Amino acid sequence: MCAAVLCLSVSRAGASEPWPVLLASPEATARHPVVDETRFAGQGWETIEQANVALSQLEVGHFDGAPAGWFGRPVRIHHRSYVLPAETEKGAVVIVPGFTEGLVIYQEVIHDLLRNGWSVYVHDHRNQGFSSRLIEGEDGRDKGHVDRFDSLVTDLDRFIAHVRRSREDPPRAERPLVLLAHSMGGAVSALHLARHGAETPFVAAAFVTPMMEPTVAPSDSTRWGDRALRRWCHEGSMPFFFDWPGLSTTRVQGGTFEQEWRRYREMLDRSSHPQTHSVVRHDVRWSNRASRCEGEHCGHEDARVAGATLGWVNEACSGAAQARGPGAARITVPVLVLQGGQDTVVEPEAQREFCDNVNAGKPADAPGRCMGWRLPDARHGLLVEVDRLRRPALVQILKSWEEVASSGR
């Protein structure tokens, strides 16, 4: 009989070798303009959006997400599109944000995509950004929660249907659609791609530090409880088939939005934060997470979300296990995965497991394969990292999409 602690350790059969290190060539960097961190330093999201509106046509809207709860409570999903007046052959990007994120913090990324010839569509997940909250009451509005992980996938499917309807007339109908997803958005997007297989409208996807398994406890911890928690999450936890009153909505990680924001501001060295080395970008990110929304398309009045509930952790572990599992082999489009070598928010081995499953049974020259790259110095928030890390990541993403688009796949 093995010792209890050893029995609780997480094992991954056939773990693959570490991925190659990503280095952007000077030629590729020169062809793909990406702003430096001083461009939007200290600016609010609406100011950055105005720079984007100068390049594109803005549409603000909402749609009904999957109903929530026993009684099918309506969920309003906020979305925005930034469409170039004269699209090139590059087409359009659908952005799928991560946990607690809203479209307000993606304005700099949107700016870079527009400057490189891509129109952009983005929605706020349920209970995040300017979309409806799932927990009623003043003390529940800023909790990081989800009712069912599958509802996030359903919401994405509905948003994609909206995007396709808005692009059904030529020449946009012939332009390629690509996916850009971060963290939790990577798991949501992977489930969409696997469930739709060859029927997905996307020709390629880029997953930036995707949440193929959230880190629920330190990997080097020797505490029995931490090892048990990691094992529980790795095995997919168990979906909550009903909402346990007072349990699933209990915050189990982090604090309220105001508490988390204050802790960040009081850090002696904000460059040591586990999200990013860039204090400039992280300052903007935090202030924009407090943004307010007005008008008929707002599901909620502000974008404040922090601190995961037990329900979110449970659903995230379950949803991520499905996303990285054998079903990933049904993905038929090329997937680029970028991994941060200093990422302590999600599990790097789970990202490799996902890629291995995507590639299972496919020839080496098959079009729908997964390719992983590693940035050893990058943290989880790669899209808000310092320039020396963010730039090669975006350049590689843009380059990979252009290669697929030009191949006619």
Could you tell me whether strands 92-96 and 119-123 are parallel, antiparallel, or unpaired per DSSP bridges?
A: parallel
What is the per-residue pLDDT for 15? 53
pLDDT cut 90: percent of the chain above it: 82
- Would you say residue 3 has pLDDT above 70? no
What is the per-residue pLDDT for 16? 63
Note the pLDDT tens digit of each residue in 23-68. Answer: 988 999 999 999 999 999 999 999 999 999 999 999 999 999 999 9
What is the per-residue pLDDT for 24? 82
Q: Return the residue matching tokens 């004269």.
A: 86
- As for how many domains the chain has, the answer is 1
Note the pLDDT tens digit of each residue in 364-401. Answer: 888 889 999 999 999 999 999 999 999 999 999 999 99
**97-104 average pLDDT score:** 98
What is the per-residue pLDDT for 1? 35
Measured between alpha carbons, how far is 80 from 313 in angstroms, rounded to an integer? 28
What is the per-residue pLDDT for 304? 98
Note the pLDDT tens digit of each residue in 56-92. Answer: 999 999 999 999 987 889 999 999 999 999 887 799 9
Structure tokens at 241: 């088939």
Output the average pLDDT for the chain.
Answer: 93
What is the per-residue pLDDT for 4? 36
- Would you say residue 14 has pLDDT above 60? no
Burial of 394 (0-12, 13-18, 19+ CB in 10 A): buried
Domain hosting residue 63, numbered range? 4-407
pTM: 0.95
The answer for residues whose C-beta is within 8 angstroms of residue 384's C-beta and 6 or more apart is: 105, 108, 275, 276, 278, 281, 282, 285, 390
Band of residue 5 on the pLDDT scale cut at 50, 70, 90: very low
What is the per-residue pLDDT for 240? 59
- Please report, for residues 77, 187, 319, 342, the alpha-carbon distance to residue 322 in angstroms, rounded to integers and kept in the order given: 24, 8, 5, 25
Band of residue 239 on the pLDDT scale cut at 50, 70, 90: low
Burial 94-115 (b: 16+ CB within 10 A, else e): bbbbbbbbbbbbbbbbbbbbbe
Note the pLDDT tens digit of each residue in 335-360. Answer: 999 999 999 999 999 999 999 999 99
Burial of 7 (0-12, 13-18, 19+ CB in 10 A): exposed
What's the CATH number where 349 sits? 3.40.50.1820
Q: Return the residue matching tokens 């802790």.
A: 263
Note the pLDDT tens digit of each residue in 200-230. Answer: 999 999 999 999 999 999 888 889 988 999 9
Band of residue 106 on the pLDDT scale cut at 50, 70, 90: very high
What is the per-residue pLDDT for 265? 96
**237-264 average pLDDT score:** 83
What is the per-residue pLDDT for 9? 47
